[in-house]
Amino acid sequence: MTPSRMWSATILTLFPEMFPGTLAHSLAGKALNEGLWSLDLIQIRDFATDKHRSVDDTCFGGGAGMVLRPDIVDAALDRVISREKGKRRPLIYLTPRGKPLDQTMVRRYALSTPGLILLCGRYEGIDNRVIEAWGEKAEMEEISIGDFVLSGGEIAAMTLLDACIRLLPGVIGKEESAVHESFELGLLEYPQYTRPQVWKNRVVPEVLLSGDHKKIAAWRHQEALRITQIRRPDLWRRYLEEMEKKK
């Protein structure tokens, strides 16, 4: 991957010191050091206009918590988007009310875009008017990493970036290893084993010691089917629907 095509991430946040965080370690950190992707941090508070650098205010209609002001978030987004050249990177707002993130989306972001622009909310979130405005202006997507609430979008942004970065060319040594992981084939991953062959009276399944790659592949597929059916009925139904379409 040449520098001109480097996959790049821009994070808009009130806490830039949280980054790169976990992304500085393991595969993502190594890839960052090798120039396979880049990270740019934008402090939203830099766009505040008063002497106290205020970025939030109380909710109209009452209620607990504060809301990030639309004028300040808009100014920060405008600064980033105005610098975009060529193919624009997707703009994503991390929020619990967003569309659930899945591996299909991750693959698209990692392999079909030049990178991502991620907006991290805080407090009670962001004034909905700026979400509407940038949805119209730049097709901003609202993405959730799960049905739970975090203190802010930063950890969600790290999660999304980690999922994307590991799919970039050159990041994982054996590219086929990513193909058989959970969700890549619409199923949860099969069980994995290593040495010792016997541990606390528990033995490795005999088929994995057979050297018969066809039988091993069949066993792994059946295990993936079994585990998915038990643990994720939603994925199992979707898998069956996809299989039916292919008939």
pTM: 0.90
pLDDT at 87: 84
Is-contact 89 115, C-beta < 8 A? yes
Cα 124 from chain centroid? 21
pLDDT at 86: 81
* Residues making up the chain, counted from first to last: 247
Residues 216-221 have a mean pLDDT of: 96
> pLDDT class for 184, splitting at 50, 70, 90?
confident
Phi, psi of 133 (to 5 degrees): -60, -45
pLDDT in tens, 67-78: 999 999 999 999
One-letter amino acid for residue 15 of the chain: F
Is 110 a residue whose pLDDT tops 90? yes
**pLDDT, greater one: 186 or 130:** 130
Burial environment of residue 139 by CB neighbours within 10 A (0 to 12, 13 to 18, 19 or more)? exposed
Domain span holding position 191: 186-246
Is 176 a residue whose pLDDT tops 80? no
Residues 43 and 161 in one domain: yes
Identify the domain boundary among 108, 136, 165.
165
Print burial letters for 193-203: b (CB count within 10 Å at least 16), e (below 16). Answer: eeeeeeeeeee
Residues 216-233 have a mean pLDDT of: 97
Residues 151-168 have a mean pLDDT of: 98
> pLDDT class for 177, splitting at 50, 70, 90?
low
Residues 205-228 have a mean pLDDT of: 97
Residue 36 falls inside a structural domain: yes
pLDDT at 179: 56
Question: What whole-number percentage of the chain has pLDDT above 70?
Answer: 94
Residue 31 falls inside a structural domain: yes
Residues 194 and 158 in one domain: no
Residues 25 and 135 in one domain: yes
**pLDDT, greater one: 175 or 230:** 230
Is 142 a residue whose pLDDT tops 60? yes
Residues 147 and 232 in one domain: no
> pLDDT class for 247, splitting at 50, 70, 90?
confident
Residues 45 and 143 in one domain: yes
Secondary structure of the chain: what % helix, strand, coil (to 5)?
45, 20, 40
What is the number of domains present in the chain?
2
pLDDT at 2: 39
The CATH number linked to 119 is 3.40.1280.10
DSSP 99-123: EEP-HHHHHHHHHSSSEEEEEEPBT
**pLDDT, greater one: 86 or 72:** 72
Residues 155 and 194 in one domain: no
> pLDDT class for 182, splitting at 50, 70, 90?
low
Residues 62 and 28 in one domain: yes
pLDDT at 228: 96
The per-residue pLDDT of the chain, averaged, comes to 93
pLDDT at 180: 55
